[in-house]
Amino acid sequence: MLPAFFQAIGTDRYLSSEELRAAVGEHPQTWNGWSLYRTSFDGFCETRLDPQCHRLEHPARTAGQLESMRGEPVIVFGTGPSAFAALTTLARMRDRIRIFTSPRGAEVLAAHGLVPDLVIVEHRTALDAHHSARHLRDSRVDPLRLGPLVAAEWRTPRALIAGVPPDRLLVPDPLPTWGLWPATAVALAGQAGAARIGLLGIDLGTVLQPDPAFVPLARLLGLLSDLVAADTLDCGAAGSRKHGWTVESLGVMAAAGPLGRLKVHRMPAPSIDERISAMREMLGHVSPIVERTRDILALGLRARGGGTVKGLETMASEMLSWSADVEVRISLQEGLGLSFLPRLWRTGVDLSLGRSLWRPVVLAAHELVGQAQRLDALTKRAAA
């Protein structure tokens, strides 16, 4: 099992390491995890942000988690150069290894007659999810239809998973994620007790030239290698080195004999009606804040236009103070899908900006009011 702090950090529900420790207790690696979160993820993974409210249309009927894979090997299959070089070997040992991948990875595998055990559908941002849905629309083959099991987070656009039969689709719960699917795949395998976890096609650059864009993922994989009980092996020898991942050939990953079907423990997922009801309840809870923010937005817009407005510092401080109420914080981040104000909670606002304070005030207030209006309209339309 992974320590509780790993999943807790990825939820973005904690604004300090002290708050985190009070919620989940102490662990020798907690500070390392928190430091990574602050330095490589800017203290905000955005894993619970659903500004498009895809959760109201998600077709999953069940949630669940993987059953024990004790003693089994898992390959996390990406689409880097090392994956293509090893496809023949992977095909030869297919019945003796688990394959976890992404929709793009499943597409590559399908083109070579291979089917993964688990396809993880996860996107860092709503824009990434939109691009994946467009890519699927333009593809000739839907690789998600072929996979025996598709694990799709609540933020997944319905169009991306509409073709997946209900008995093959589930929402992972719990979902130990920081928003980067290869690390999520490793975490899920580790949670289920896999004996060996290998990376293939998760190259993140080359040995001589690691790609700076993948530094957060590389560091997160390094942290996971210290947290999971499994042996962690990197089967993409030409890729960049990752802390804790021993470079090995793909052949050492295979189990002694064939593996059966991947099993999951399922539970009923909230129905669409239940999700809509929860959204309405959340909107009712934050309605006083929404109304107050309308006033703040009007004053901020007046200041932007050159009008005389007193108390911009007070308004900015008030919006920052909302983070002190954990229930309000979660409602605004996860319920409304806000990103700008939660970032200000983490970075703070320079109250000495004077008249220029209208900028952060207007940006934060505009997003809050706009999202509240949009989600209110969505719930009414969905209920009609």
HEC string of the chain equals CCCHHHHHHHCCCCCCHHHHHHHHCCCCCHHHHHHHHHHHCCCCCCCCCCCCCHHHCCCCCEEEEECCCCCCEEEEECCCHHHHHCHHHHHHCHHHCEEEECHHHHHHHHHCCCCCCEEEECCCCHHHHHHHHHHHHHCCCCHHHHCCCEEECCCCCHHHHCCCCHHHEEEECCCCCCCCHHHHHHHHHHHCCCCEEEEECCCCEECCCECHHHHHHHHHHHHHHHHCCCEEEECCCCECCCCCCEECCHHHHCCCCCCCCCCEEEEECCCHHHHHHHHHHHHHHHHHHHHHHHHHHHHHHHHHCCCCCCCHHHHHHHHHHHHHCHHHHHHHHHHCCCCHHHHHHHHCCCHHHHHHHHHHHHHHHHHHHHHHHHHHHHHHHHHC
Average pLDDT of the residues in 101-109: 94
pLDDT class of 269 with cuts at 50, 70, 90 = very high
pLDDT, tens only, 348-375: 999 998 889 999 999 999 999 999 999 9
Residue pair 92/253 in contact by the 8 Å Cβ criterion: no
Higher pLDDT, 147 or 285: 285
pLDDT class of 384 with cuts at 50, 70, 90 = low
* Positive/negative CA dihedral, 171, 277, 132, 37: negative
d(CA 182, CA 199): 9
What's the mean per-residue pLDDT of the chain? 94
pLDDT class of 128 with cuts at 50, 70, 90 = confident
pLDDT, tens only, 54-93: 999 999 999 999 999 999 999 999 999 999 999 999 999 9
Q: Characterise 306 by phi-psi region: left (phi > 0), alpha (psi -120 to 50), beta (else).
A: left
Domains and CATH numbers, the chain: 1-44 (no CATH), 46-268 (3.90.1480), 272-383 (no CATH)
Q: What is the pLDDT of residue 133?
A: 76
Average pLDDT of the residues in 190-213: 96
Residue pair 158/136 in contact by the 8 Å Cβ criterion: no
Strand pairing class (169-172; 196-200): unpaired
C-alpha angle 195-198-201 in degrees, rounded to nearest 5 = 165
Q: What is the pLDDT of residue 213?
A: 95
pLDDT, tens only, 151-198: 999 999 998 998 899 999 999 999 999 999 999 999 999 999 999 999
Q: Is the pTM of this model over 0.75?
A: yes
pLDDT class of 381 with cuts at 50, 70, 90 = confident
Residue 228 CB neighbours (<10 A): 21
Residue 277 CB neighbours (<10 A): 14
CA-nearest of 30, 37, 364, 93 to 250 is: 93
Largest pairwise CA distance in the chain? 76
Question: Which residue carries 């498009």 as its tokens?
Answer: 52
**How far is the CA of 96 from the CAs of 48, 74, 93, 172, 219, in angstroms?**
35, 10, 6, 24, 29
pLDDT, tens only, 117-127: 999 999 888 77
For residue 380, pLDDT over 90 is answered with no
pLDDT, tens only, 242-262: 999 999 999 999 999 999 899
**What number of CA atoms fall less than 13 Å from residue 302's CA on the CB side?**
12
For residue 317, pLDDT over 80 is answered with yes
For residue 289, pLDDT over 90 is answered with yes
Q: What is the pLDDT of residue 143?
A: 77
Sheet holding 98-101, edge to edge: 246-247, 231-234, 196-200, 73-77, 98-101, 118-121, 150-152, 169-172, 62-66, 264-268
Q: What is the CA radius of gyration of the chain?
A: 22
Average pLDDT of the residues in 280-291: 96
The percent of residues above 90 in pLDDT, for the chain, comes to 86
pLDDT, tens only, 325-346: 999 999 999 999 999 999 999 9
pLDDT class of 309 with cuts at 50, 70, 90 = confident
CA-nearest of 179, 184, 185, 147 to 163 is: 147
